[in-house]
Amino acid sequence: MEPARVDPAGPEPGVLFLAELREQPDVLTRLAGREREFEAAAARLRRPEVRVVRIVGHGSSDNAGTYGTYAFGLIAGLTAFRDSIALPVYYGTALEAADSCVIALSQSGRTPDVVNYVERAQQAGAPTIAITNDPGSPLADAAEAVVALEAGEERAVAATKTYSAELAALALLAAHAAGRGPRYHEGLRETAQLLAEALPGLEAATAAAAQQLVDARRMLVLGRGPEYATAREVALKLLETAHLTAAPFTATDFGHGPVAVLEPGDPVWAIAVDDPSLPTVVEAIGRANAAGGAVVVTGSAANAIEGARISIPLPQAPLPWLGPLLSIIPGQLFAAALAGARGLDPDRPRGLAKVTVVP
């Protein structure tokens, strides 16, 4: 256990983080209502010359980008990938513009190398779409089209509502690119409603889980397909807020090596949803159980998993591929609860500013 670091004279720790976390149903509902804006922005993805979608971002926005690669593939049949920012920005390679649409994700819209990437893509003639919480930011200025997250100011350093808003924006852009916008706006509205109903129960369940795992020294986080994005974001949240070293793996990569690190009692966070990758996740959980790991399973298929130490089931999303909007929530709540149980303040991680300004 680490020493408590809460300032007794300061505001109650974690208030911002938890308040913003709880705003997520409202944020998603607002996005669901902006059909015409998404339809207009997505026009760039429907240009016949666009064959690939290049997604860029850092930190939580990069994790949202992982979701984007699946959302574009599954909803729109488009090839999408998280492009290297370093190649054009630091190494000066040419950006292939003719067949690409660029989607840049940044909560602040001020991450310098993401802005630089978009400026280069614009100069090269690629259509660019900025997804940001600040439509007055340099990133919004640099891009051809802007999708404002309209999530309200995010004051806690660790992202919550802007992460899920980025996921929703990516799903909506993919849906409009595929001519299925209206259906996904409706599905997002229903997802937000499910989330609002589930939140109180999830807060209680994750608080209990945090009490059980307060002394954890490390955690492995497993997901597959779209939920690999969730695994990455849960691991980052645990590191940022609860100072727990957590490493994300796809369910398949877990069996390739990391399973060796498990000591009896070591916690494993697994996301299990009703989709075609479920057998790989079930297999990985079985190996974690065999090694004596303390498995925490969440997701719409959590109830179907045998042998988990802790089970935090979630409702099924009303449309395929919107599940990650639900399955990130227990991870965010658990990170907040674990930070609190360890005397840490998730609102103010040491050494962090809200905007990445490193070169």
Find the binding residues for its own copies in span 256-275 (CB under 8 A). 256-263, 275
Considering only residues 33 through 62, tell me which ones interact with its own copies, judged by CB under 8 A.
Answer: 51-52, 58-60, 62
- Could you give the CA distance from residue 84 to residue 315 in angstroms, rounded to a whole number? 35
- Residue closer to its own copies, measured from CB, 9 or 94: 94
Q: Say which DSSP state 3 is in.
A: P
Binding mask 68-87 for its own copies (x = CB under 8 A): -xx--xx--x-x-xxxxxxx
Rounded to a whole number of angstroms, the minimum distance from the CB of residue 20 to its own copies is 16
Does 356 engage in binding with its own copies (CB under 8 A)? yes
- The β-bridge relationship of strands 294-299 and 310-313 is parallel
Considering only residues 156 through 175, tell me which ones interact with its own copies, judged by CB under 8 A.
Answer: 158
CB-based contacts of 153, cutoff 8 Å, min separation 6? 133
What residue spans of 131-226 are helical by DSSP H? Answer: 138-142, 161-177, 181-212
Rounded to a whole number of angstroms, the minimum distance from the CB of residue 35 to its own copies is 26
- Is residue 68 a contact partner of residue 55, using CB atoms and an 8 Å limit? yes
Rounded to a whole number of angstroms, the minimum distance from the CB of residue 320 to its own copies is 10
Considering only residues 198 through 227, tell me which ones interact with its own copies, judged by CB under 8 A.
Answer: 217-218, 224-225
Rounded to a whole number of angstroms, the minimum distance from the CB of residue 242 to its own copies is 9
Measured between alpha carbons, how far is residue 180 from residues 39, 77, 168 in Å? 10, 12, 14
- Residue closer to its own copies, measured from CB, 196 or 214: 214
Considering only residues 315 through 344, tell me which ones interact with its own copies, judged by CB under 8 A.
Answer: none
Q: Which of 253, 304, 316, 341 binds its own copies (CB under 8 A)?
A: 253
Q: Which of 12, 47, 204, 245 binds its own copies (CB under 8 A)?
A: 245
- Residue closer to its own copies, measured from CB, 39 or 275: 275
Q: Say which DSSP state 160 is in.
A: S
Considering only residues 96 through 125, tell me which ones interact with its own copies, judged by CB under 8 A.
Answer: 96, 99, 113
Does 246 engage in binding with its own copies (CB under 8 A)? yes
Dihedral sign of CA atoms 39, 41, 47, 51 in order: negative
Does 90 engage in binding with its own copies (CB under 8 A)? yes
Q: Which stretch, 6-14, 176-184, 202-210, 251-259, contacts its own copies (CB under 8 A)? A: 251-259
Q: If you write DSSP's letter for every residue of 96-139 in order, what string do you get?
A: --TTEEEEEEESSS--HHHHHHHHHHHHTT--EEEEES-TTSHH
Rounded to a whole number of angstroms, the minimum distance from the CB of residue 268 to its own copies is 12
Strand partners, 250: 223
CB-based contacts of 272, cutoff 8 Å, min separation 6? 278, 281, 282, 285, 297, 298, 299, 300, 301, 302, 304, 305
Considering only residues 286 through 315, tell me which ones interact with its own copies, judged by CB under 8 A.
Answer: 287, 290-291
- Could you give the CA distance from residue 230 to residue 227 in angstroms, rounded to a whole number? 5
- Residue closer to its own copies, measured from CB, 29 or 79: 79
In 3-state terms, the chain is what percent helix, strand and coil (to 5)? 50, 15, 35
Q: Which stretch, 131-139, 203-211, 281-289, 327-335, contacts its own copies (CB under 8 A)? A: 281-289
Rounded to a whole number of angstroms, the minimum distance from the CB of residue 345 to its own copies is 11
Length of the chain: 359
- Is residue 144 a contact partner of residue 41, using CB atoms and an 8 Å limit? no
- Could you give the CA distance from residue 34 to residue 99 in angstroms, rounded to a whole number? 28
- Could you give the CA distance from residue 73 to residue 318 in angstroms, rounded to a whole number? 19
Rounded to a whole number of angstroms, the minimum distance from the CB of residue 346 to its own copies is 10
- Is residue 117 a contact partner of residue 87, using CB atoms and an 8 Å limit? no
Identify residue 103 by its one-letter amino acid code.
I
- Residue closer to its own copies, measured from CB, 204 or 353: 353
Rounded to a whole number of angstroms, the minimum distance from the CB of residue 43 to its own copies is 21
Q: Which of 250, 298, 327, 332 binds its own copies (CB under 8 A)?
A: 250
